[in-house]
Amino acid sequence: MVKEISTTVIWELLKTIPDPEIPAVSIVDLGIVRNVEFNNNQLKITITPTYSGCPAFSFMKEEIVRHLETDGITNYQIDISLAPPWTTDWMNDAVKTKLKKSGIAPPSLEVACPQCESQQVEVISEFGSTACKALYKCLDCLEPFHHFKQI
């Protein structure tokens, strides 16, 4: 590898990888990319899985590899860090807004309907389409929606 690549370039690259379950947000938005650094020209990316056993995680890792190799980056190492455990607090407010716009109630102890903000909601299923999300129904506007579980 001859071209100079900075960590900024790597972060920008990682930001283009969407979460496989919620395409509106990237893996960087989710906070699973913990660190990007170069040690003697060797790139090291540290990632933390969201919910343990989340099947999307191995897919995300494969996506990182695919994006790096597409860009001609071959001297990389991907470390998986389990401590500290991932928490929804690692998502910033901009990400929560993105979730809401795609019809998903962001992580919160007080679940509100992403359409009408009503807190008159009921759980339909603790496990929606994925283990990370619960399916709710709004009792005011009657729209069903997903809530990204707070952990």
Q: Kindly indicate which of the ranges 9-17, 69-77, 106-114, 129-137 contains the residues binding Zn ion, using the contact rule CB under 5 A.
A: 106-114
Q: Binding to Zn ion by residue 138, rule CB under 5 A?
A: yes
> 16: which 2 tokens?
């283009």
Q: Binding to Zn ion by residue 80, rule CB under 5 A?
A: no
Q: Binding to Zn ion by residue 139, rule CB under 5 A?
A: no
Query: In angstroms, how far apart are the furthest CA atoms of the chain?
Result: 59
User: What is each CA distance from 124 to 19, 51, 82, 127, 134, in whole angstroms?
Assistant: 24, 21, 31, 9, 8
The answer to whether 45 and 38 have CB atoms below 8 angstroms apart is no
- List of long-range contacts for 122-125, beta carbons under 8 Å, 24+ apart: none
Q: Kindly indicate which of the ranges 5-13, 64-72, 74-82, 139-147 contains the residues binding Zn ion, using the contact rule CB under 5 A.
A: 139-147
Residue 87 or 118: the one with the smaller Cβ distance to Zn ion is 118
Q: Kindly indicate which of the ranges 28-36, 54-62, 100-108, 133-141 contains the residues binding Zn ion, using the contact rule CB under 5 A.
A: 133-141
Q: Give the Cβ contact number of residue 113 at 10 Å.
A: 24
SS3 78: strand
Q: Which of residues 109-128 bind Zn ion (CB under 5 A)?
A: 113, 115-116, 118
Among 123, 124, 141, 151, contact with Zn ion (rule: CB under 5 A): 141
Binding site for Zn ion (CB under 5 A): 113, 115-116, 118, 138, 140-141
